[in-house]
Copies of this chain bind each other. A is one copy, B any other.
Amino acid sequence: MDQVPFETPASLLRPVRHGNAFEETIERLLQTIKLGLFAAGDKLPPERELSEQLGVSRATLREALAELQKAGYVEVQRGRYGGTYVALKLPAGRGKGTALDPAEVDDALAFRSVLEPAAASLAARAKLSARERRHLLDTLADVATAPAELYRPKDARFHVAVAELAGSPSLAAAVADVRARINDLLDRIPFLEPNLEHSNRQHQRIVDAILRGDDEEARQAMEDHLLGTASLLHGFLGPGEERSEIPTQPN
């Protein structure tokens, strides 16, 4: 059987860096855009700021931005009041290139279902400022009124917004990361018209619970909401597990 020995701990003997700085920077910026943290048309921070925030030299950042520009994700304007702007129309992710890795699907979904319900619960328990409540409602409205073709980034932004209210930056970052992983997985399966109304009702239920301070309901609402993506992705893992139907929730 040649079992993996417990003596060799995988938990920390993993890559310190994932590729070179250039690739990591591209990846991070792409995630930020695809998660809707910068919406279409938004201006990115100036290069000098952004390079500092990303912990990378300006030269490297510029290489990454040049790639994104070439690929059509951002547009650049020079001069004062210029800057780098997220393209109004994002290029279609070519997706479907590679098959789903079942281990990655299971891991991402499991991790997500640990993080997001907990975040919702913490958000409900937190004392939210008026501004935070407003922001949550804004984000909710934004996703509710989004047209289908850009539902996913708005939806992702809503989920990250919830996580940010939980008060733990690490948790928010982890939620954003795992959501980006799930977006990548979703990009690889055929597009199904999602049931936006159902999803929006679930979002509303989550927000209601958070604003009401009902942490258990918030957790439960988020758990329910995540089931959609879970079975959607599992449904495309092919045979080996029994599937009853193909669900249509978008996230």
Contact = CB atoms under 8 A, between A and B. Distances in A.
A201 interface: no
5 tightest A-B contacts by CB? A15-B55, A9-B37, A110-B168, A11-B176, A114-B118
Interface stretch (A20-28, A70-78, A79-87, A228-236): A20-28
Interface string A90-122: 000000000000000011101100110011001
A251 to B, nearest CB: 17
B54 A11 contact: no
B32 A164 contact: no
Contacts of A10: 164, 169, 172
Interface string A37-48: 110001001000
A178 B7 CA distance: 21
B31 A12 contact: yes
A12 B50 contact: no
Contact of A24 (B13, B17, B21, B122): B17
Contacts of A176: 11-12
Given A55-B16, A172-B11, A110 B122 contact: yes
B12 A32 contact: yes
A10 B55 CA distance: 13
A15 B54 contact: yes
A56 B20 CA distance: 10
